[in-house]
Chains A and B, each alone.
Chain A
């Protein structure tokens, strides 16, 4: 495992995000509460995740949301932008996998909505 050092981690009052490389998989972990206060940082973070995912030629980006209490629509939009950006590439460079927790009720409905945007690209693991 190595840190994907070009991706600057976020450490805010109630939210953190970090990325690390595990062979051909770029792991992303989001923890806490993603709301309007971290929207700009999350946009920047997800853009860096995409850039590094392409540069490192990873097979998959795995996003661990199991300790993410809530995500607002503005932050969901960061994921919408990301999925749409990967989808726009003729041969998408990597797949996206969301790792979810059944105890986080927001994830059931919100991740389903995200997965439906690109069923061949995005999967959700419980």
Chain B
């Protein structure tokens, strides 16, 4: 049976200066709830990359970060999502990139391919979502309503360390 260990939303100004502050907040929160430092890195890195995606591509003044941790007997399920308005062009780019990542049989191989393909493009990373999938070992989903997009990263993580 699942019980919610954590479920909150942050409504943010999608400002690059806020991204690392929020990443540290997510990291410190999960340090209290998840026993594995590597899993904490994976979750906080995903939060950082999604927030930066919002900071770079959001249209308008708000982005909403949703953080969920559901604890079960066998472990826990973490979900990080960012919702923001963006341009029609960026919606299409996101659809293409998320579909490419979701279809990849070997996420690490795709990550390497994207690194090589974009190595000489300095203006845009193009790696953030692939990093979440490959380094973060998190599944990616995309929900689109008009020009409002929600990118969802989710993974199973070890549960809270037992208390003596």
List chain A positions with a Cβ less than 8 A from chain B. 14, 33, 35-37, 43, 70, 72-74, 76-77, 80-81, 83-84, 105-106, 108-110, 113, 116-117
Contacts and interface: CB of A to CB of B under 8 A. Distances in A.
Contacts of B52: 35-36, 72-74
Interface in B112-161: 112, 115-116, 118-120, 122, 125-128, 131, 134-135
Given A77-B127, A105-B38, A108-B38, A36 B134 contact: no
A109 to B, nearest CB: 4
A43 B16 contact: no
Contacts of A37: 16-17
Contacts of B134: 113
Interface string B72-112: 00000000000000000000000000000000000010011
A83 B38 CA distance: 26
A116 B115 CA distance: 11
Given A73-B125, A73-B127, A81-B122, A36 B112 contact: no
A89 to B, nearest CB: 14
B71 interface: no
Nearest to B137: A109
SS of A interface (majority): helix
Interface residues of B, number: 31
A73 B124 CA distance: 10
B151 to A, nearest CB: 14
B122 A80 contact: no
B20 A33 contact: yes
Nearest to B136: A109
B116 to A, nearest CB: 7
B38 A80 contact: no
A77 B118 contact: yes
B67 interface: no
B20 A14 contact: yes
B127 A35 contact: no
- In this complex, the member of B19, B52, B119 whose beta carbon has the largest number of chain A beta carbons within 10 angstroms is B119
Contact of B41 (A36, A43, A106): A106
